[in-house]
Structure 1
Amino acid sequence: MDITPIHRRVIGLDVHQSKISACALIEQPDGNIVVEHQEFGGFKRDRRALAEWVSGFTPEVVVMESTGIYWKSPYAALERVGILAWVVNARHARNVPGRKTDVSDAQWLATLARAGLVRASFIPPADIRHLRLIARQRQKLGGMLASEKNRLHKVLADAGIRLNVLVSDLHGKSARAMIRALLDGQPIHAILAHAGRLRASRTDLFEALQPEELSARHRFVLNEILAHIDYLEATMTRFEQELLHGLAPWEAQLCLLETVPGIDRMGAAMLLVEIGADMDSFGSAERLASWVGICPGNNESAGKRKSGRTRKGNAWVRRLLCEFAQAAARTRCALKDKFSALSIRKGHKRAIVALAHKMLRIVYAMLNHASPYQDRTVDYEALMVQRNAPRWLKMLQKHGYLATA
């Protein structure tokens, strides 16, 4: 059975680091198909020539695979001439092995797109894509910062300093000040003066801050780690300021996302640059969850349900959602009740993923309808009355509707 064509003018692009293979399938008025191949380099002049060549066909669809980061520059070149290409999942457009070449890959992509057998992935607008660079680098810096903090803990333990036993956060203000004073060689009473309101007794702190072997090498390494931690924290602050400044046009969406338990300002900003503010791009919460890779997979054969583990998707969004779920599970809301019910049957990790899936569907509904999160366990009317009743009573007494006491 022949594949019924849906689009008449289609171009497929097989993108590599230094080469782009293009194939145009153009249906003539008499029904004949004209196939034209062309190859371009990977430099700016080549991408400009590619955009001119593609626009000369006035295609209905231009399709390319999401091969690493190499698709981004050709996509931007086409976008500048008014062509929004389809970026498709490589596993959905895999060519038949045996006669596989770059030229045949481009023609295969065009053939699939012509028959409507591939679907474009979500590509946000250029301004959101550029903000993604800031958000993702900020996440990388966060990982580096966590690694350095862990290393500081290990070096302190190697020197026999057991401050982490007495403080909940080794990198809190008081603990950090005591560590710096210790490395500066200050006397013990000056070090303990930085303890502030710590619950631990001064006797225990004195014992914990007695190093067994705090050599000059330990001091050197600890000072360098602290300097790197300060640098990373300052860098992350600059990244956060630039990200929030760039998201000023989407202030309303940021405020909506902040109403969800477990999502703070920065978490809302980092989620927004990944999924965008226009939910029409996905069409449904199910498609959004499938794109992220947070929903259960389908694997059924011969009437038997096999492993339904989650598929690969947007790892950046999945990581954010799991962090949100961890935070929401510790709040007093309906999401915590959901997590408690799931963790009994599925365990902690599966329950976190399931709660992250639920939170993503909530986020979709909020952005789609421009409405804030409303928790079913909270009586919002009672809260409004509690907040405004004193003012209402004053106004009623002022205008004579209530007798003054």
Structure 2
Amino acid sequence: MEDVVEFCVGLDVHRDTVVAAVRRPGRRGKRDVETRTFLTDSSGLLALGDWLIDEHVTRAGMESTGVYWKPVFYLLEDRIPEVWLLNAAHLKNVPGRKTDVGDAAWIAQLVEHGLVRPSFVPPSPIRELRDFTRHRRTLIEERTRAIPRLEKVLQDADVKLSSVASTILTKSGRAILNAMLAGEADPVVLADLSLGRMRSKIPQLQDALHGTFRVSHHGVLVKQMLAHIDFLDEQIEQIDAEIGARVMEYEPVLEQVQTIPGVGRKIAISLVAEIGVDMSVFPTPAHLASWAGICPGNNASGGKARSGRTRHGSIALRTVLTEAAQSAARTKGTYLAAHFHSIRSRRGTFKAIGATSHDILVAYWYIVHDDVDYIDLGPDWAVRRQGPEQQIARLVHQIEKLGREVTVTMPAA
């Protein structure tokens, strides 16, 4: 096994400390190893970087330990030519040799000989955009969870507003709730606060608003929940402004990605944030699908193929692709919708969602890599891609499965 890197370091990162093992050429063709431990505060990481520069280190490798690897990686990426973030599953050592120093030395050996592959870490602007888009999703999910809590309090007070209105947070619903918090208990007065199409349901509203709502009890809870929802709405608006400022340079890519059926602006922004716009990192669409965990793995031994489960890719990316696939499945006259329904009829909804997600991911790679718009193949692509003989054979087979015999006669030339 030949040496690949003369000066390299393996880093075993923890919350408070990082253990660094530097491998360098020694006497008589051997390799020397020096190990030091540094704190993970700013002064400790700066001292680590200075030491690695003094040791002429050209490649550093570290295990992706929670979020603790981030400050170490961010500091070293500007000072070391190559900084590798490594998948913990690829770094298994011999059992019984688990120590911090041993782990650092083992990582250094793997990095030295190139026996592991680095994980994809996007550049700083994409990382910032990713943080904002993920935080936005967290805020939206928290707001979604807050609405059923509000509904439970109203049900406890026997206020059946949700039985009449599609959602309790419409303008009419907010006006009614604000009046109830102000002490108004007359259902006739409350129902008269409805707006728009809700006014056609005033009799039903009057019946629904008869309840036991008490301002001293239910009102305290409802007031706090509404304030929490309003706070989340404000936070979402602010984070949207931050995201909008950061995606201005990616507008051409976003417009092209939105040509994919089922992909709107928010999904396009999330795709850019999770994948980036530099497709040179992924040589082919298959590499991107493998990294994202949107394709089956290989599991064969002794000439027998076993079930190959998909890898654990990014949960955020998988969620975005699932939303896009569900939207694409509802489109009319598109290849993605036809492909989804074709697979769902044979393999079920979950397999169809996975296949459609893969289609969207492959389309994203070609759009960004080739700087082109999405070109829809059409809903009949599965039939058109076959020759006449294949189509005839498929149709004959379907008729024969129904217990009939078919004779195909070709017209005279």
1:17-70 deviation digits (Å, cap 9, x = unpaired): 111111122236963322222221111111011111112233332111111111
Alignment of structure 1 residues 158-173 onto 2, 5 Å: 158-173=156-171
Equivalent residues of 1:40, 1:50 under 8 A apart: yes
Displacement of 1:229 after TM fit? Answer: 0.7
Deviation at 1:180, TM superposition (A): 3.4
Displacement of 1:234 in angstroms is 1.0
8 Å Cα contact 1:12/1:107 also seen in 2: yes
Q: Distance in 1 between matches of 2:262 and 2:179?
A: 35
Using the TM superposition, give the Cα deviation of residue 135 of structure 1 relative to its aligned residue in structure 2, in angstroms.
1.8
Deviations, residues 217-261 of structure 1 (Å, cap 9, x unaligned) = 122211211111111011011001101202222222222222222
CA contact (8 A) 2:328 2:337 kept: yes
Residue 215 of structure 1 aligns with which residue? Answer: 214
Say which SS state the counterpart of residue 10 (structure 2) adopts. Answer: strand
Q: Distance in 2 between matches of 1:365 and 1:191?
A: 55
Q: CA deviation at 1:201?
A: 3.3
Name 2:242's counterpart in structure 1: 242
Aligned pairs for 1:33-72 (under 5 A) are 33-72=31-70
**Alignment: residue pair count:** 375
What is the Cα deviation at residue 274 of structure 1?
A: 1.7
Please say which of residues 167-176 and 258-267 is displaced more in the overlay: 167-176
Mapping 1:228-307, distance limit 5 Å: 228-307=228-307
Distance 1:22 1:179, change over 3 A: same
Distance between the aligned counterparts of 1:29 and 1:174, measured in 2? 82
1:354 paired with 2:320, answer: no
C-alpha offsets along residues 270-294 of structure 1, whole Å, 9 cap, x if unaligned?
2212211101112222222222222
For 1:153, which of 126, 140, 151 is the aligned residue?
Answer: 151
User: 1:302, 1:203 → 2: CA distance?
Assistant: 73
Q: Tell me the residue number matched to 1:310.
A: 310
| CA offsets 1:70-123 (integer angstroms, 9 cap, x no match) | 111111111232534100100011222112211111111111122221101111
Match of 2:204 in 1: 204
Task: State whether residues 171 and 195 of structure 2, in contact with CA within 8 Å, keep that contact through their aligned partners in structure 1.
Answer: no
Judge conservation of contact 2:160–2:209 (CA < 8 Å) in 1. yes
**8 Å CA contact retained: 2:175, 2:193:** no
Per-residue Cα deviation, 1:144-166 (whole angstroms, up to 9, x for no partner): 11110121222222222333233
**Contact 1:152/1:222 (8 A) holds in 2:** yes
Q: SS at 2:29's partner residue?
A: coil
**22, 25, 40: which one pairs with 1:24?**
22
CA contact under 8 A between 2:21 and 2:101: conserved in structure 1?
yes
Q: Deviations over 1:132-188 (max 9, x none)?
A: 222222121111111101212222222223332333334334444444344444553
SS in structure 1 opposite 2:378? coil
Backbone CA RMSD of aligned residues: 2.3
How does 1:297-376 map onto structure 2 within 5 Å? 297-332=297-332, 333-376=334-377
- 1:83 aligned to 59, 81, 84, which one? 81
Counterpart amino acid of residue 365 in structure 1 = Y
1:109 correspondence with 2:110: no
Whether contact under 8 Å (1:167, 1:200) holds in the other structure is no
Partner in structure 1 of residue 383 of structure 2 = none
Deviations 1:338-360 (A, max 9, x none): 22122222222332232222211
1:195-235 Cα distance to aligned partner (Å, 9 max, x none): 31249633223323333x22231222112111111110110
Are the aligned partners of 1:16 and 1:67 in contact in 2 as well (CA < 8 Å)?
Answer: yes
- Is the CA contact 1:75–1:84 (under 8 Å) kept in the aligned structure 2? no
Tell me, which stretches of 5 or more residues in structure 2 are unaligned?
Answer: 380-413
C-alpha separation in 2, matches of 1:101 and 1:95: 10
Structure 2 counterpart of 1:12, from 6, 10, 16: 10
Does the 8 A contact of 1:13 with 1:63 survive in 2? yes
What is the aligned partner in structure 2 of residue 397 from structure 1?
none
| Aligned residues of 1:124 and 1:276 also touching (Cα < 8 A) | yes
Q: For the structure 1 residues 197 and 68, does the alpha-carbon distance in structure 2 shift closer, same or farther, using more than 3 Å as the test? A: same
1:128 aligns with 2:126: yes
- Structure 1, unmatched stretches of 5+, are 379-405
- Aligned-partner SS, 1:197: helix
DSSP-derived class of the 2:372 partner? coil
Percent identity, aligned pairs only? Answer: 37
CA distance in 1, matches of 2:341, 2:180: 44
Distance of 1:245 and 1:49 partners within structure 2: 35
